[in-house]
Structure 1
Amino acid sequence: MLYIIGTPIGNLEDITLRALRILKEVDYIFAEDTRRALKLLNFYSIKKPVDSYNEHSSPKKIDKILSMLKDGKNIAYLSDAGMPVIADPGTELVNLCVENNIEWDVIPGVSSVLTAIAASGFYGNRFVFLGFMPRDKKRRRILRKIKENDMSDVYIFFESPERLVKTLNDVYDILGNVEIFVARELTKVHQEYFKGTVKRALERFSEGVRGEITVVLKVNHKKG
């Protein structure tokens, strides 16, 4: 059995009792970032063998995981933070199980996407998750598509501190002075929420910013 386990996005207390039980029961753990996984496991005094599995892993690592599963081992996979498979290489492991008739299950946990949506207070029955916002021309192309497409009024994406201001400038140039919510370091000690217009966000973050950033846009598409 492969267990896809949701882990904390910052605060180590944000993990379910079921996830902790499964981590104690499995034979082996693979993690996108072994350092973060070991920090979590040590916090809860869980001693298990841990190996890395991420976007840079070789085909041999996939073969190793498949061999272990076929041998009857129970394996847990942990993403860097939050829910695996969401902007995460865990997708390949799920498909590996499907293709080889191996059981898998998901142990739900916290998600930075849903946490930011809830914190933003932006009303809407639908939202579009864009993953990691690309650079330059590709970013502007996506923003133009958002302007032309009224499928949703709420869009959420991840951004790096180094590119946040450039992205905000593109949002302002293409979408106008729309409402925006910027969450920095969600659930961590230095967590910060900003909610306002893009113009105000540019003023707030013009001097630079650090940490992991999640952005939510509220775009009011003109009807008719």
Structure 2
Amino acid sequence: MSRIALLLVVLLTAGCTGSPDTRGPFPAGAELVRDAATSFASVRSVHFAAGVNGVLPGFPLRQIDGDATLDAGGGATGTADVQDGEGHVKFRFTVRDGEVSTDPDVARGRIPETDAVGRFLGPSAGLKRLLDGVTDAKTEGKENVDGAAALRVGGRVPAAVAHSVLAQVNADIIVKVWVSADGPRRFVRLWVQVPPAGDHLSPVMFELSLTGQNEPVDLG
């Protein structure tokens, strides 16, 4: 899988404010995640914002922000910040017709053609599989996410499912999924904690915000 494909599989950024309202009753966590997975399967376009706290070997993403669509052959555009040796590099990227271009041209000779968007959007792609794989789901409360009420569900995803979404992950992961409080239920945010790869390392945290679902995307 190419670097851009990896960046677009698990896309993350914080979007909630304040402490959760834990006064119930709330819908069951499994029900909320199931409904969110069902609705997300039909999403054709989305604005994503993502960030990573920690170092996952082979996964250089620090931050990424952009828009993606499955329409017209699929594509994405946005900005990324990735680790590069002891420093990091920021660049704009466009994915169109299976080809990746960046400005500045950091990708030449290193990033092959890719179906990055199709790896995370669609009824059988990575984010849908991740939602389908959530176990031990428990509704933890209500929060404000990107200006709208959302219900937070905590759970776990087995290693086999997590690895199928991101090859660098080989252990069970802890997740929190935010689902819109008002119907139809929408998958709006994700937090993931990956266990440390060694005894002296820290866990890696990913956060993902998804807005503008099914809105038109201009790839420029």
TM-score between the two structures when normalised by the length of structure 1: 0.26
Specify which structure has the higher proportion of helix: 1
> Which of 1 and 2 has greater Rg?
1
Higher relative contact order (CA 8 A, sep 6+): 2
